[in-house]
Structure 1
Amino acid sequence: MHTLKKSLGQHFLKDEKVVQRIIAELQKNSFKNLLEVGPGGGALTKYLIKIPGINFRAVELDEEKVTFLLKQFPSLKGNIIHQSFLTIDRPFDEPFTVIGNFPYNISTQILFKVLEWKEYVPVVIGMFQKEVAERAAAKEGSKIYGVLSVLLQYYYDVEYLFSVGNESFTPQPKVQSGVIRLTRNKYQFPVKSERAFWVLVKTAFNQRRKTLRNGVKSLFSKEILNDDLFNRRAETLSVEEFAALTFKMS
């Protein structure tokens, strides 16, 4: 049929119950355009191409999988982008939903790519390495709350939907998996600028074991740093608190 390439982080979903559950979650939101990332052996694809009235495209880096998919699903002709998701141009001129059993070796990069297209991507649903899925959904106060959590949750509501055991894949990955949904929020907390927000969040978590005062001292005046807020650690600040703090940056 086709071979697996570990270098591309390929683990193919074989559990039909899991596949159908992901499809059911996808269809809770309406959409006109749909992009599947990493269709691989077509576990999700075979259902996605049957959704009526939508424009469907898939992005697949592996040439062997592209050939297989076109043979299995002739209707995909002209609708497969044979590239890495991380380097493609935006595939639709209008808003589009993103779905996938995402390659684990580029999970975090995929989410940051989505943030580049946030004005066009209202919903993302799919499977990630469980650790990444949990980090994306983590709230302040959690040890795994970090840069990814804050930046994603500034723009999206992130729901951790369900976990998937490694027995649901061929070959079995060494890690567990988790399915999450990102839904673009209608309101963003005010910030001095998006750039200031990103710089603050990344700087704050760069030395997460230190107090905020020591971690971000390069971004604030000495007077501002005297505030008790800076006695806290980055992982205790909410998205809203990070946003508010940007207005005090030098």
Structure 2
Amino acid sequence: MTDKVRAKKHLGQHFLKDEEVAEKIADTLVLKGYKNILEIGPGMGMLTKYLLKKPVTTYVCEIDRDSVAYLKANFLQLSDKILEKDFLKYDLTETFKEEPFAIIGNFPYNISTQIVFKTLEMRDQIPEFSGMFQKEVAERICASHGSKTYGILSVLTQVFYEAEYLFTVPPEVFDPAPKVNSGVMRLTRKENYTLPCDEKLFFRVVKTAFQQRRKTLRNSLKTFNLSDNLKEDTIFGLRPEQLSVQRFVELTIKIANDSIQTQ
């Protein structure tokens, strides 16, 4: 065994040291609809070793050179499956072409939401996603409408994926221990994940609405120059957290039709 890797603060590294938790996270993947897994930020392979037991091909994406050297020395079966890349900048089609793959990981807190957004962009190829986040972020992604944590991330994720909060992980199972609890969640792509409305407009409506979440939609969506007729619709008397994902889709369609009629 090569020397252990020291966690680097600037990379947001917190190495998992609990075997039971690692195995439990590996088991969150259902393994349907794909033959490849990509683990982000494997570190010293605590989660990786359980993924390698699965009947799929495991790839790992790791930016830390020390961790890459450790993995190459200790996981010979990974030798040609280590992507020494920045996940957020790397074009994953170079590795997977058009093949579907799942994403899993004990994600660095500082880029976890960006990992989710990249997954949404590549949703055609990613039927399943699971992993560990800061607890608050995992809860926000999985939140239902009506809750205080429901927001932009919840809607933009749940319009394409079913989101499930699975379990909470305490700080002491990491080295070094973070100051907060972690949460493991799973995203399962919906059977019908194509939007029946303009995607750019949908993202704009959701983001604009939640930027002033305490206001009613009538006030927060003023920049869309809505017709007086549309503003009388009862949906505009609601605040954004009161709208389900489906109602945000309906709202976007109403706004799109309104702009066509007022041109």
What range describes the TM-score normalised by the shorter chain of this pair? over 0.9
Matched position secondary structure for 2:168? strand
Q: Does 1:118 align with 2:120?
A: no
- 1:100-119 to 2 correspondences below 5 Å: 100-119=105-124
Match of 1:12 among 11, 15, 21: 15
> TM-score, length-normalised on structure 2?
0.91
Q: How does 1:195-210 map to 2 (within 5 A)?
A: 195-210=200-215
Deviations 1:106-155 (A, max 9, x none): 11111001011100000001111101100000000011100100010000
Would the aligned equivalents of 2:34 and 2:127 in 1 still touch at CA under 8 Å?
no
Unaligned runs of 5+ in 1: none
**Aligned residue number for residue 253 of structure 2:** 247
Render the CA deviation track for 1:57-100: whole Å, top value 9, x for unaligned. Answer: 11001111111111111221121111111111123120001110
1:92 corresponding residue in structure 2: 96
Say if 1:31 and 1:97, in contact at 8 Å, map to a contact too. Answer: yes
Q: Say yes or no: does 1:231 pair with 2:233.
A: no
Name the residue aligned to 1:130: 135
* Matched residue SS, 2:27: helix
Q: Distance in 2 between matches of 1:229 and 1:188?
A: 24
CA RMSD of aligned residues (A): 1.4
Report which stretch shifted further, 61-70 or 220-229.
Answer: 220-229
CA drift of 1:3 comes to: 1.0
Instruction: Describe the superposition over 1:157-183 as per-residue Cα deviations: whole angstroms up to 9, x where unpaired.
Output: 001010101111111101110000100
Residue in 2 that maps onto 1:79: 81
- Which of 36, 40, 48 matches 2:43? 40
Distance 1:4 1:208 in 2: 38
* Alignment-derived partner of residue 175 in structure 1: 180
Q: After superposition, where does 1:60-79 map in structure 2 within 5 Å? A: 60-79=62-81
SS at match of 1:41: coil
Q: What corresponds to 1:147 in structure 2?
A: 152
2:120, 2:195 → 1: CA distance?
A: 18
The answer to which of 211-220 and 238-247 deviates more is 211-220
Q: Is the 8 A contact 2:68 2:84 kept in 1?
A: yes
Secondary structure of 2:159 counterpart:
helix
Structure 1 residues 105, 192: closer, same or farther in 2, change over 3 A?
Answer: same
Unpaired segments of 5 or more residues in structure 2? none
> Distance between the aligned counterparts of 1:27 and 1:10, measured in 2?
26
* Runs of 4+, deviation exceeding 6 Å: none
Q: Structure 1 residues 47 and 118, CA, compared in 2 at 3 Å: closer, same or farther?
A: same
Which residue type is aligned with residue 69 of structure 1? Answer: L
Q: Look up the match of 1:212.
A: 217
Aligned to 1:187: 192
TM-score, normalised on structure 1? 0.95
* Residue 27 to residue 248, structure 1, CA distance change in 2 (3 Å): closer
CA contact (8 A) 2:160 2:194 kept: no
SS at match of 1:112: helix
Specify which of 49, 53, 66 is matched with residue 50 of structure 1. Answer: 53
Specify the code of the residue in structure 1 equivalent to 2:10: S
- The 1:30/1:187 distance shift into structure 2, 3 A limit, reads closer
Asked whether the equivalents of residues 189 and 240 of structure 1 are also in contact (C-alpha less than 8 Å), the reply is: no
Amino acid at match of 1:197: F
2:25 is matched with which residue?
22
